[in-house]
Every structure is written in C-alpha cells, then in structure tokens.
Structure 1
Amino acid sequence: MNPSLHADPAAPGSPPTAPAPECLFADDDLIVLAKPSGLLCVPGRGPGKQDCLSARAAQHWPGACVVHRLDQATSGLVVMALHAGAQRALGNAFAARQVHKRYVAVVDAGSGLPEADPDAPWQEIDLPIAADWERRPLRIVDAALGKPSLTRWRAAPPEGGAPLPADPGSGARVLLEPVTGRTHQLRVHMAAIGHPILGDALYAPAAVQARAPRLLLHAAHLAFAHPRTGAPLQFDSPPPF
C-alpha cells in the first residue's frame, strides 16, 4: 500500500508466456490493473521471485512505473504510471492522502460485529505500527516505537460478493479504509481488535488462517484525480470471494 515516489520503472522479468494483467483503464498517462492474489507487485529477492505485476505490465506498457503496492496475498486494484511525470503526480497524491481507497475483507467475527447498516458511522482503529525486527517482515502494534496508523472500518452487507471459497464459520464481511498506508496495516489492525482476516498466514491464528484458501482481502475501490487533466477517476472491482 505504501506509495513510492522514486520507484524504478517496471523491469522485465516475467516469462514471455506470463498472462497479461487484467486492465480496467489505460491512456497515455496511467493504467489501472487488477492484481490477483498470490502475485507480487514488484520483483522479490532471488530468481524465483521475478515474476510480478510490474514486470508483466512492462511487457505490454513499456515504461510502466510503480506508484503504490499491494501485499502479495491481497488482490485488487493497482494504478501504475506510464511516464515519470505521471508517477510523480500520482505519488504525491498518495502521499497527500488524496487517493480514496476502500477494501473488502472477511474477518473472524469473534464475539460479534456491529450490524451491517449502510447508515452506521465508520469506526476507527488508531494504533501505531512498527516493524517486528525479530520476525521480519511482520509488523506489530507498538505504542512507543510505532508510526501513527489509522484505519476506518465498518460491517458490510454480503450483497455483491461471490460465495466464500471456504466455509466462513463466524466470518463477517467488512469494509476497510486505510487513512495511513503502513505495511500490513489492515491485517495488523484487524487482528489487533480481535477480528483477524480469514486466510491470513501472518497475523491470524492457525484455525482462522485455515478457514480460507487465500487471504480474504481485496482492494475494491480507488478514486483520484487524473495526474494530467485533473479529471476525477473512480474504479471499482468486486471481490472474488
């Protein structure tokens, strides 16, 4: 989720037969792609981690530049710039919190969640997040060393989602809006308030992790101003769960 103002252009690295990313929008300045769960946004360390969304994008949109990222396990909307000027403008918009982001997740309901009321106010999770240096790349809530981290959330009605890929048990669908963009923020915050995301291999207990074959977290909505024209853009992607 963290914007990168100085990210390198997406370097080739995917096999020639790698499928083209699903594209929701493209013009001379930017592209909006749908990232599947399990695919890295940028290359990782080692030859086995070079296939990624940015490398696949570079095969079809030469010069595509990374602006922000999703966790490997998270699916959903990613915007990439097609030249340095657009990358700079979009990166500044992310840094200034001028990009509206909304995620859909299925979480462990635990002792219960508020009723799914579209008119209900959003709740806030205001817990500072820091790196867990002994268990990198994990993050922890740390009141002394953590950076300010704010997430807005509320229960969501189930309409519009496909049947869950695994029996959700007491799972509940929620909407999440990260105000800040810390690494693993949504996963850490939901686990911290007792509602870990189903399928989360890093922050959920084993029993909650086992209730879904993937992390049930999806970047479903992006809204921002076009980096050149200023025209409002809005994109939506229904979750595949």
Structure 2
Amino acid sequence: MANPSFVYNPPMNPYLDILYQDEDMVVAHKPSGLLSVPGKALEHRDSLISRVNSVYPTATVVHRLDMATSGILVLALNKNSHRHISKQFELRQTKKRYFARVHGHLTQDTGEVNLPLICDWPNRPKQMVDVERGKKAVTHFNVIERAFDEKGLPFSLVALHPITGRSHQLRVHMLALGHPILGDRLYAHDEALAMAPRLQLHAESLSFIHPTHGHWQHFQIPIPFSQYHPDALSKSID
C-alpha cells in the first residue's frame, strides 16, 4: 500500500519548541509526527505553523519538513524576511545537514546521489526516480557509523547534504542506494520499517543569511535517535 492509513496523533509535549526568535524570524524544532502545515482534513489541522501562529500571528512558512521528519524549521515574521529567506532556499544558498539511520552497511564512505525525481502519481505522495521526466535531485552523503542493533541487524548512520530540495529526496535517494531509512512507512521494506518506531531522519543543522543584518546564522539541534554529536555545520562545509 503506497500510503498506509494512519491516525494523526501529533506529539503534544513540548507543544512548541522555539530555538530562536527576533523581529524577523522564528526558528523552531519540529518533532517527528507533526505536520509542517495543516492538512486538508479537519483532524489534520494541527501543525507547526498553527502552533507558531498562536504565539506569533504574522509567522509564515518558508520551507517544510515531511511530517515524519524531525528538525529545524525557520519561519518568517514579515514579508521582507519571507522574501529574503525564501530566495536563499530557491537559489540553494542555504546550508542544510540531515542525519539518518539507514538499513544495512553502505560500502562507500562518501558519495553523491544524482538521480532525478518525479511524483509517483498513482501512489502519491510517493516519489520515484525517473531519468527522463524527473527534476534534478542531488544529495551528498558520508557514513558516520556502521553498526548492528540489539537484534544483530545492520544499520548505518549517515550525514546527508541535500543540494536540491525535492519532495522526499533523501528518502528516495537512500532507497535507490539500496539502504532505505529505518522506520520509513512509505519506502522501507518490512525489516527496515520494523527496526525503528519513527522515521530515522532529522534536519540537524541549518545555516542561512539573516534577512536584516546580513550575517550568517547557524542553528543546530541534537539527533534524537543517536548519541553522535557532530561539529557545527559552518565548520564542516563552509
């Protein structure tokens, strides 16, 4: 089944985790299981932007994370900030780093996945690789750890740097390598799905230029499913 039925039960504690706020923007931590924006159904109205708007009514969404993905999201508090930050995402000037636990042991320590993606329309919201019709999608990866879980099943912790920002890009690119992300109910096979209670994908670091004073802003949040503590993003890929 492409999109298994589920009951939307977003986490409530903490209700809202604000990492930073000034006159131009709010940076928040979105937990796994919470929508970035409201869904169409009434029972899917709770979302990160809805919660932020309860405190900051002018906040608008600049970018999104999948419901099952946790991590850093920046929201704009005025039109100028929205325009400025959105342009950085559009021009790929932001710096993003994700971490994922994937099934199996990757043979390469580092690499690039350059596979165009398109919506798998009959099975939406799933995406798929399509070299003829797909939009360019590029991900850089490096392996942090190769290990085994308590049942002896192999997994790898990988750092992922998306150069483009296609829907489900990291999930489909890891699948294309033969290493689906653990706990992924859309793309993982049965063993990889059963190895984790949630999607093991986390937007750990985000860097961009402040819309007013023009200095680089760096935000980082610990990986909830790993004890690994990476260096700051600015030091690793500037």
- Report the TM range for the smaller structure's normalisation: 0.7 to 0.9
Question: What amino acid is aligned across from residue 115 of structure 2 in structure 1?
Answer: L
Separation in structure 2 between the aligned mates of residue 155 and residue 184 of structure 1, nearest angstrom? 20
Separation in structure 1 between the aligned mates of residue 192 and residue 152 of structure 2, nearest angstrom? 9
- Which residue pairs with 2:127 in the alignment? 139
- Which residue pairs with 1:153 in the alignment? 141
- Which residue pairs with 1:113 in the alignment? 106
Give the conservation status (yes or no) of the 8 Å contact 1:166–1:213: no
Which one of 7, 19, 22 corresponds to residue 24 of structure 1? Answer: 19
- Does residue 85 of structure 2 align to residue 84 of structure 1? no
Separation in structure 1 between the aligned mates of residue 223 and residue 151 of structure 2, nearest angstrom? 16
Question: What amino acid is aligned across from residue 221 of structure 2 in structure 1?
Answer: S
Question: What amino acid is aligned across from residue 48 of structure 1 in structure 2?
Answer: E
1:107 Cα deviation after fit = 0.2
Number of matched residues? 215
Instruction: Give the secondary structure class of the aligned counterpart of 1:156.
Output: strand
> Are residues 70 and 28 of structure 1, via their aligned partners in 2, closer, same or farther at CA, if it must alter by over 3 Å?
same
Separation in structure 2 between the aligned mates of residue 129 and residue 230 of structure 1, nearest angstrom? 33
- Which residue pairs with 1:219 in the alignment? 203
- Which residue pairs with 2:228 in the alignment? none
Separation in structure 2 between the aligned mates of residue 115 and residue 133 of structure 1, nearest angstrom? 32
- Which residue pairs with 1:14 in the alignment? none
Unaligned stretches of 5+ residues in structure 1 = 1-16, 117-121, 159-163
The percentage of counterpart residues that share the same residue type is 45
> Are residues 28 and 128 of structure 1, via their aligned partners in 2, closer, same or farther at CA, if it must alter by over 3 Å?
same
Question: What amino acid is aligned across from residue 81 of structure 2 in structure 1?
Answer: A
Give the conservation status (yes or no) of the 8 Å contact 2:207–2:218: yes
Separation in structure 2 between the aligned mates of residue 36 and residue 166 of structure 1, nearest angstrom? 25
- Which residue pairs with 1:99 in the alignment? 94
Separation in structure 2 between the aligned mates of residue 127 and residue 115 of structure 1, nearest angstrom? 17
Separation in structure 2 between the aligned mates of residue 155 and residue 240 of structure 1, nearest angstrom? 18
Give the conservation status (yes or no) of the 8 Å contact 1:166–1:212: no
Unaligned stretches of 5+ residues in structure 2 = 1-11, 226-238
Separation in structure 1 between the aligned mates of residue 152 and residue 26 of structure 2, nearest angstrom? 34
Question: What amino acid is aligned across from residue 116 of structure 2 in structure 1?
Answer: P
Separation in structure 1 between the aligned mates of residue 151 and residue 59 of structure 2, nearest angstrom? 39
Give the conservation status (yes or no) of the 8 Å contact 1:165–1:212: no
TM-score, structure 1 length as denominator? 0.84
- Which residue pairs with 2:48 in the alignment? 53
Which one of 120, 135, 160 corresponds to residue 176 of structure 1? Answer: 160
1:206 Cα deviation after fit = 1.5
1:157 Cα deviation after fit = 4.1
1:62 Cα deviation after fit = 1.5
1:212 Cα deviation after fit = 0.4
Which one of 39, 42, 45 corresponds to residue 44 of structure 1? Answer: 39
